[in-house]
Amino acid sequence: MAERDERNEVYSEHGRRFAHLLPDYRAGHPASQRLYITTGGGPGIMEAANRGAQERGAPTVGLNIALPHEQQGNPYVTPSLSFKFHYFALRKMHFMMRAKALAAFPGGFGTLDELFEVITLVQTGKAKPVPIVLFGSDYWKRLINFDVLIEAGTISPQDMELFAFVDTPQDAWNVIRSFYDL
């Protein structure tokens, strides 16, 4: 339990520090080119990312979901940018309409659902390409054996280029900057 809490704290701190990097880029850019932190608006890593952006004076977006036993919105989401959805599909649609990148941190079924939705939409050309960064390379490589998918022919080796494994906030930012040639 203590090891899990420590690991989660590290990822939360990475989320907070990653969110610190984006407001620096926002300055001096037109609204259409600005990057915003958007999370599910809940606790844990989502809260840490919203907090990091707020600490740097940037507005943050929360796309919360109405669940009988889950979170309320975290206090770091900009109140006028806090939205609550009843259906996951609508929530993901609104996210994908606006997303300029996806930073996926270790999470549960909801994280996997959103990650695979984005990868599938980008892979099939149903959504515009966006940089997809998977924070915590050890976690993701242990969770999903991508080599098995390639060996089985269910994805192509080129599909591995749809996302990048990262272990630091700066690595994630570098992937995003490189993708957009910033």
pTM: 0.89
Q: Is 167 helix (H, G, I), strand (E, B) or coil?
A: coil
Whole-Å CA distances, 72 to 13, 97, 175: 21, 24, 31
Calpha distance 151→69 (Å, rounded) = 39
Residue 69: strand, helix, or coil? coil
pLDDT band at 157 (very low <50, low <70, confident <90, very high): very high
pLDDT over 70 at 144, yes or no: yes
Asked if residue 9 has pLDDT above 70, the reply is yes
Phi, psi of 16 (to 5 degrees): -65, -45
Helix ranges (H only) for 27-168 are: 45-55, 88-98, 109-123, 137-143, 146-151
> Per mean pLDDT, which range of 26-30, 39-43, 52-56 is the poorest?
26-30
Do residues 122 and 100 make contact, with C-beta atoms less than 8 angstroms apart?
no
Torsion angles phi and psi, residue 104, rounded to 5: -100, 125
Residue positions counted in the chain? 182
One-letter amino acid of 158: Q
Q: Report percent pLDDT > 90 for the chain.
A: 73
Encode pLDDT of 57-69 as tens digits.
999 999 998 888 7
Q: What is the pLDDT of residue 68?
A: 80
Q: Is 62 strand, coil or helix?
A: strand
Banded pLDDT at 3 (limits 50, 70, 90):
low
* Predicted local confidence at residue 4, as pLDDT: 60
How many C-beta atoms lie closer than 10 Å to residue 109's C-beta?
Answer: 7
State the pLDDT at residue 22: 82
134 burial type by CB count under 10 A (0-12 exposed, 13-18 middle, 19+ buried) = buried
What pLDDT, in 10s, does the model give residues 85-142? 999 999 999 898 888 999 999 999 989 999 999 999 999 999 999 999 999 999 999 9
